[in-house]
């Protein structure tokens, strides 16, 4: 599971609480004014799921780009090659020429359109389980024409003017760690802060530790 914190851009807080037109205090979910609640919840679930998928894509790129690999070309033959993703800057911003911002990890915003384009350019490097699921690196580099299941979800999100203004997965592994995203939907006027939930053994160990920690988690990284 993951956690989502939202702020609707069209409603101002009053006395510390969000107020509906009838001036009664309501929950953050109901603060999505002029928006169907079911649609709002579905939007949040899509963004929440995307945090997992996007980290998976970025990890495959960071782990394999520029690395030597071997693929089977015959019964007893293997050919060596170097992995080269096409335009990785569409999903990885850290090598961009823009100046770093001490208050965020991304150097520039990333859109669903950019992610979809990256997938289309690099489909051969990815493998997706039948019916969808976690992607893996495809060492065979086999060309693929059929879109992945994840691409249909990205197309749904592309219907709105949506931007990922920050995404930090630097301190994460497949067993856990910190992953969060800050997403702005200009069409529906909401901002979502999404945190990845428990995914593995290191997260489970952290969940079971109820001791207070008065020191910063990454002291040197604090601003």
Q: What are phi and psi of 218, to 5 degrees?
A: -125, 85
Residues 130-137: what's their mean pLDDT?
Answer: 86
Distance CA 20, CA 61 (A): 45
Torsion of CA 71, 77, 80, 81, to 10 degrees: -50
User: What average pLDDT score do residues 203-213 get?
Assistant: 62
Confidence of residue 199 (pLDDT cuts 50, 70, 90): low
Contact between residue 40 and residue 63 where contact means Cβ atoms under 8 Å apart: no
Average pLDDT over residues 154-167: 87
* Closest to 83 (Cα-Cα) out of 63, 101, 103: 63
Contacts of 92 (CB under 8 A, 6+ apart): 58, 61, 62
Please report the pLDDT score of residue 5 as a whole number: 53
Instruction: Kindly state the average pLDDT of the residues 32-57.
Output: 75
What mean pLDDT is predicted for residues 7-33?
47
Q: How many CA atoms lie within 13 A of 163 on its CB side?
A: 9
Higher-confidence residue: 184 or 43? 184
């Amino acid at each position: 599971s993951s956690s989502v914190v939202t702020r609707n851009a069209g409603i101002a807080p009053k006395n510390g609480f969000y107020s509906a037109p009838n001036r009664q205090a309501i929950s953050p979910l109901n603060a999505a004014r002029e928006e169907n609640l079911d649609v709002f919840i579905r939007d949040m679930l899509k963004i929440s799921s995307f945090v997992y998928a996007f980290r998976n894509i970025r990890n495959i790129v960071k782990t394999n780009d520029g690395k030597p690999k071997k693929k089977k070309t015959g019964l007893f033959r293997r050919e060596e090659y170097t992995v080269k993703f096409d335009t990785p800057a569409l999903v990885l911003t850290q090598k961009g020429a823009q100046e770093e911002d001490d208050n965020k990890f991304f150097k520039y915003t990333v859109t669903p359109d950019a992610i979809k384009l990256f997938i289309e350019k690099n489909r051969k490097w990815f493998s997706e389980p039948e019916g969808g699921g976690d992607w893996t690196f495809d060492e065979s580099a086999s060309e693929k024409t059929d879109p992945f299941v994840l691409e249909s979800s990205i197309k749904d999100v592309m219907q709105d003017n949506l931007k990922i203004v920050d995404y930090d997965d630097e301190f994460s592994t497949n067993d856990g760690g910190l992953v969060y995203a800050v997403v702005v939907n200009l069409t529906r006027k909401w901002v979502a802060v999404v945190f990845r939930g428990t995914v593995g053994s290191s997260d489970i160990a952290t969940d079971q530790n109820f001791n207070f920690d008065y020191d910063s988690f990454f002291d040197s990284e604090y601003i």
